[in-house]
Structure 1
Amino acid sequence: MSISARLRCITVDVTGTLIAYKGELGDYYCMAAKSVGLPCPDYKSVHEGFKLAYKDMAKKYPCFGHAAKMPNIVWWKTCVRDSFRRAGYDYDEETFEKVFKRIYSSFGSSAPYTIFPDSQPFLRWVRKKGLTVGIVSNAEYRYKDVILPALGLNQGSEWDFGVFSGLEGVEKPDPRIYELALEKAGNIAPEQVLHIGDSIRKDYMPAKSLGMHALLLDRFKTPDAEEWRKSGAAVVPDLVAAQEWLSSEKFIY
């Protein structure tokens, strides 16, 4: 039985699955600081400060402030300011505005990201098979409108619909984000959908809980992958292997 007969839709995670971050957070914070004549902030301090600031903002204002109707730029400005302060850098308002503008612009472009070479061919192969492709991501609106298209992942040629947490107000691992995907795919049955991602908690388990098929990618050879396999999850190293898996008898309907 062909893949098109088994499935009607494949949904795909973004970061770690289709694209990856390029360089370190400190690289972009450093460039922003140097652009206004300041020395580079300490990489480690900024990285740790950002992790804490991001976690705090995600808890207070989840989905990039969706429920609070907080503009995306305000969410990020608050997060970045807190990142610097936690790292020991308390710039005056005028200086911070200039630094933040550079950071916000950088992360709203394709500059900090790289696309895996197998991403575009895989998505086009799936669509050529007659399947619908959906993006399911804990990401803000700029991924949909700017970042993915800038990386060559366009709606209409590589994917058909997207479910982005910053636009929908729900995020993984909440199964409701997958329910939205099923609706956008045309209210199709969960067993006719395969979700591909790189997190057992955010991708595999919530998708399976709804009755969808799921496949995990282990692009970076994480030590957790062995536990994923022991739990019964299907794990492949990349989307080339995912295509082979989908085309073989290993895919059990």
Structure 2
Amino acid sequence: MCIKGVHLITFDATNTLLRFRIHPWQYYSIVARDYGFKGSENDLKPRLLESYKAVWNEYPNFGKGLISWEDWWNHVVKRTFKGQLPKSADVNCLCDKLINDFKTAKCWRLAEGADKILNMLRNQGISLGVISNFDPRLVEILQNMHIYNKFHFVLTSFDIGCPKPDKKIFDHASIAYENVHPRACLHIGDDIEKDYKAARNAGWHALLVSNQKLKDKSVAAKHVFGNLYELHDAIYNDKVKL
């Protein structure tokens, strides 16, 4: 009931430990109705996705070193709803509400099996961390999900100053945690490039949690699990092969 040679295990946050309770564009649509929004969530989805991408390209990593992360999200929200609200709408108030609501269980839930696998690993004496492309709200979100105290550290791309797949964020984690050797570190996430390949490029072991059919031949089938329950059972039964 262990992974031989591994002393530190880190998890990605979004779509690994955490899941959206409803899609962000759905929640944006619901909240924005109080501000005069008349469109549909289907109208909003491409607008939100395009806005996020455009603002990230202009101000990478939630605006780190350029603008505040709150202003970064203000840009996303205002771009998403441009031309979609009456002129009398208090858009700044809408921005503040969305930023604050996305700290809470209104918008987030634990991924299936998250509690179970974290408890098992803690009981084994494994040190746990989080490495995620996220703004500083992540700590509060993990607290609100009642799992923050299960981790020895939480590293966000905003705090470290570089997002995955940059290996520096993994280097920082292994050095910060008592200078543990990369080969004694394992990262678990859902994204092939930002989690699986990025961790391996940093000299770490990596596992992928995804129920999507993978076409990338560089991902070993033995490293892929459909969900955290599957991964929990594989670890418990000593079936994980790194």
Length-normalised TM-score, structure 1: 0.87
Matched, 1:238 2:227: yes
Q: Deviations over 1:200-225 (max 9, x none)?
A: 1111101111221111112xx2122x
* Aligned pair partner of 2:127 in 127, 132, 142: 132
The CA distance in 1 between the partners of 2:129 and 2:217, in whole Å, is 25
CA RMSD of aligned residues (A): 2.1
Alpha-carbon contact 1:17-1:198 (below 8 Å) kept: yes
Segment drifting more, 116-125 vs 205-214: 116-125
The CA distance in 2 between the partners of 1:208 and 1:11, in whole Å, is 13
Alpha-carbon contact 2:25-2:48 (below 8 Å) kept: no
The CA distance in 2 between the partners of 1:118 and 1:229, in whole Å, is 27
Distance 1:165-1:5 versus aligned 2 partners, 3 A rule: same
Alpha-carbon contact 1:228-1:235 (below 8 Å) kept: no
The CA distance in 1 between the partners of 2:241 and 2:111, in whole Å, is 27
Number of equivalenced pairs: 241
Report the CA distance between 1:47 and its aligned residue.
Answer: 1.3
In the alignment, which residue of structure 2 is the partner of 1:26? 25
In the alignment, which residue of structure 2 is the partner of 1:41? 39
Length-normalised TM-score, structure 2: 0.90
In the alignment, which residue of structure 2 is the partner of 1:222? 212
The CA distance in 2 between the partners of 1:74 and 1:230, in whole Å, is 38
In the alignment, which residue of structure 2 is the partner of 1:76? 73
Alpha-carbon contact 1:29-1:41 (below 8 Å) kept: no
Alpha-carbon contact 1:26-1:42 (below 8 Å) kept: no
In the alignment, which residue of structure 1 is the partner of 2:92? 97
- SS of equivalent residue, structure 2 residue 148: coil
* Aligned pair partner of 1:56 in 43, 54, 57: 54
* Aligned pair partner of 1:67 in 65, 68, 81: 65
- SS of equivalent residue, structure 1 residue 214: strand
Matched, 1:159 2:154: no
The CA distance in 1 between the partners of 2:21 and 2:3, in whole Å, is 35
Segment drifting more, 195-204 vs 88-97: 88-97
Report the CA distance between 1:247 and its aligned residue.
Answer: 4.0
Overall identity of the aligned pairs, in %: 24
- Structure 1 residue runs of 5 or longer lacking an equivalent are none
